[in-house]
Structure 1
Amino acid sequence: MTTTMTNIEDRTDDPGLVIETATTRVLTLARTWLAWDGKPRLSEDGERIYTPHKVIRRYADHLVDHLAQIEALLAGVPTRPNGWRESRMTTVADFARFTEGDLNEAVERLTRLSRTIRLRLLVAGPSEWDRPRDGSWTLREIAEHVGSSWYAEQLGDLSSPPPAA
């Protein structure tokens, strides 16, 4: 039996592509955060604050949470309840200066995580992507949910100073 490798970029129906696209956007914005002035930014809903480290932490946590959810759904077992306080909590470490080393770590971590989810979805295959699962999102719906750069957009592009108030 001969197997052939397919170039992942040649896929036409690929629900995980949206996740890698969001990660690219997150990292594009993160490259501007080396200029961060140390002041947290208020989210659009006015309920949370964001710093570069918090955005990276929350985006990575979001990817991990939903990768675990995908794995549990495919295994036919309940997902582990989430015990994190999520984005309502800001840690002392979230206020640290964002350095080139931090950016490099974020690039490596987020790129690998988003690619892992994409590959997992591809391995699960089209028959699993839209299969209803009692009380849960489909795998495609999970991918669409995770495929958002919302956390990073809350901090935004810091390559130029914010407009004067």
Structure 2
Amino acid sequence: MSDEIPTTDNREPALVVTSMIDHVLDLAATWTTWDGRPVRADERVYTPHKAIRRVTDHLIDHLAEVEARLAGDPTIPDRWHASASTTPADLAPFTDQDLNEARSRLTRLSRIWADRLTALTPDQLDRSPGEGWTFRQIAFHLADSAYYADAVGDLSAVGSDR
């Protein structure tokens, strides 16, 4: 993930976010076969639970930012750098129940983001109030959240090398 200004294109911002979530959930559907070994990506490690947690937290953090800026309120910075932390809960097996909860949570967040982004005018998307990236840039930045799920990968081929 990067803090560089996100590159945008002519895709609808809502579709950019919802497509990322669909991709994450497609990968998560293969994670019930996870063998319990964290996957190393760059200088960090990822697990199915950590990937879902990071995607969810990223969506929530930026949603809070967008809503605060639209309301004219100051944003609340995220002071916990959770990608660097792997919790004991992150190391738990990823079960069918976990997959169902991830689907439920991320599907609801997908809907919230789609509703929020489609309610904004092109001017609001590109001249967003307050400091920071435009809301269009934030949507394209959120697409990078797939990184966490991609780090775990497609585990449908049980026993294959990572």
Q: What interval of TM-score do these two structures reach, taking the shorter chain for normalisation?
A: 0.7 to 0.9
Which consecutive residues of structure 2, in runs of 5 or more, have no partner in the other structure? 1-9
What is the one-letter code of the residue matched to 1:40? P
TM-score by length of 2: 0.87
Runs of 4+ in 1 over 6 A off after TM superposition: none
1:22 to 15, 20, 27: 20
**Superposition pairs of residues 108-147 of structure 1, within 5 angstroms:** 108-133=104-129, 135-147=131-143
**Superposition pairs of residues 11-160 of structure 1, within 5 angstroms:** 14-43=12-41, 45=42, 47-133=43-129, 135-148=131-144, 149-160=146-157
Which consecutive residues of structure 1, in runs of 5 or more, have no partner in the other structure? 1-11
> Which whole-Å CA distance do the structure 1 matches of 2:79 and 2:131 have between them?
20
How much does 1:51 deviate? 0.6
TM-score by length of 1: 0.86
What's the RMSD between the two structures over aligned residues? 1.7
How much does 1:162 deviate? 3.2
Contact 2:69/2:130 (8 A) holds in 1: no
> Which whole-Å CA distance do the structure 1 matches of 2:161 and 2:88 have between them?
27
Bigger Rg over Cα: 1
